[in-house]
Amino acid sequence: MKNFVFSQKIYSFLLDTYRWYLQTPERSLHQAYDAALKIKEIENKHFNGNKIDIDSAMYSNSVMDYFESDLNKLLKTAKMRLTEFRASRWFLNEENQKAAQKAGIEHPSPSLVLEKLNFIDQVISKYTTITEQINSKALVVKPANIPDDSAISDDNLLPVNAQPLPPKIPTQGLEKKPKRKADTMGVLPRSILSTITRLQVELDPNSEQEVIHNFRQAQRRTIISIRFILLLIIVPLLTHQIAKAFVVGPLVEEFRETEQMQIFLNSEMEEEALVELQRFEEKLKFENLIRNAPPLLPEQMEIEMKKRAIGIAEEFRHESSNAIKNVFADIFSVIAFIWLLIVSKSSIAVIKDFFDHIVYGLSDSAKAFIIILFTDVFVGFHSPHGWEVLLEGVSRHWGLPANRDFIFLFIATFPVILDTIFKYWIFRYLNRISPSAVATYRNMNE
């Protein structure tokens, strides 16, 4: 009887799973349509039916950050659900559709599906650049009645399937990446050009609005960058502590209590414990001699040594358990860090621009000072001692024995590679961007 009930539960579970699989296209389309409706609602309610413009001056920076966060989440949901919709429809064949009809699953009519897809495409296309459309195979071409030298706009682009000609990828309408300082080479010194540019800006009647706009962009970039840097530091640390305290810690303690595991993870811990026990024995003898007390009996000495040995064993058992917890907690931290990088691609682009402005905005002496400080710490004459302490600390953190051969091999290779990268960067980029900073660096090094 129990086997029959168990088999019925298994059959019911498999049937529910199969029904969920058959309903995947409809469910994915509904979720994508719901995300598009929410985007349209924000447009109608807060932007007068227009596109959500992140650089709009209608609201404060905090409000625009809120709208930007919601927009990114909704766009990501809509795109992921559309991908899931296409994939699930590709895997569903005629037999699956017949099975869905027998199971009483009603699919929406083709006209309703096309209507929802059209609405989703209309909403998402406002926030999709031409480059993204090309990458997602949404190729566009110009109509035949538009000359080649005309500007490409969003109103005169047609889908490929509406044209008899083969698709043609537009090149003139693609957004160009902003040039950085490393890519610009001028005939005149930059100081003269910057002075002329500053005078033009000061004489321009619209310069005040441009300055305010640039200041707001710089302010938003700084806030996003600092917030993302704090997240990169705080989230892995919190994940490590929470996983160690509530997930990994109880499991390791339970396993090491039920299973009589060895006290020491490696020979270094065992040697350290023996040295500590030996020092305790010598300390007892020394204290007994200086107090002019009668010598301790062998039985008393053995009792004191046994108590201390039990205490040392408990300390190293805790240290071994802590090292095992650190390994698994660090894995959770790395997963959280990678997940944060994956879901924050826009923040990574902002933080790159932020560091570019900071680094290349420093004076020549400041650049040279930072380069010398960084290179002396990591690849300088005294850096091997720092690398040795760091690697021994990491080994102890994970409960591994400090392999001297590996440490010496690492010190002999990695700082050399790092020094080569620094020299290449100075020769390849810094020498073109700021030759005076390179000259200052060489003078300070000498």
In one letter, which amino acid is 283? K
Q: How far apart, in whole angstroms, are the C-alpha atoms of residue 56 and residue 159?
A: 30
- C-alpha 324/C-alpha 263 separation (Å) is 12
Q: Give the C-alpha separation, 142 to 156, whole Å.
A: 7
Q: What is the structure's pLDDT at 234?
A: 94
- For residue 2, name the pLDDT band (cuts at 50, 70, 90): low
User: Please, what sign has the CA dihedral across residues 284, 289, 293, 298?
Assistant: positive
What predicted TM-score, i.e. pTM, was given to this entire model? 0.51
Task: Considering only residues 10 and 102, tell me which one the structure prediction assigns the higher pLDDT.
Answer: 10
Q: Grade residue 143 by pLDDT with cuts at 50, 70 and 90.
A: very low
Burial annotation 403-427 (CB, 10 A radius, 16+ → b, else e): eeeebeebbeeebeeeeeebeeebe
pLDDT tens-place string over residues 242-251: 998 888 888 8
Report the pLDDT value the prediction gives residue 239, as an integer from 0 to 100. Answer: 93
SS (H, E, C) 66-110: HHHHHHHHHHHHHHHHHHHHHHHHHHCCHHHHHHHHHCCCCCCCH
Per-residue pLDDT tens over the stretch 371-402: 888 888 888 777 888 898 899 888 888 888 88
Q: Which residue has the higher pLDDT, 286 or 186?
A: 286
> Tokens standing for 208?
């005040």
Tens digits of per-residue pLDDT, 164-217?
Answer: 444 444 444 444 444 444 444 555 565 676 777 777 766 767 777 777 877 888
User: Average pLDDT, whole number, for the chain?
Assistant: 76
Share of the chain above pLDDT 90, in %: 8
Task: Kindly state the average pLDDT of the residues 64-69.
Answer: 79
The rounded distance, in Å, linking the Cα atoms of 428 and 438 is 11
The residue with greater pLDDT, 110 or 369, is 369
What integer pLDDT is reported at residue 166 of this predicted model? 41
pLDDT at 442 over 50: yes
Distance in angstroms (rounded) separating the CA atoms of residues 18 and 91: 13
Hey, where are the domains in the chain?
2-194, 216-356, 362-446
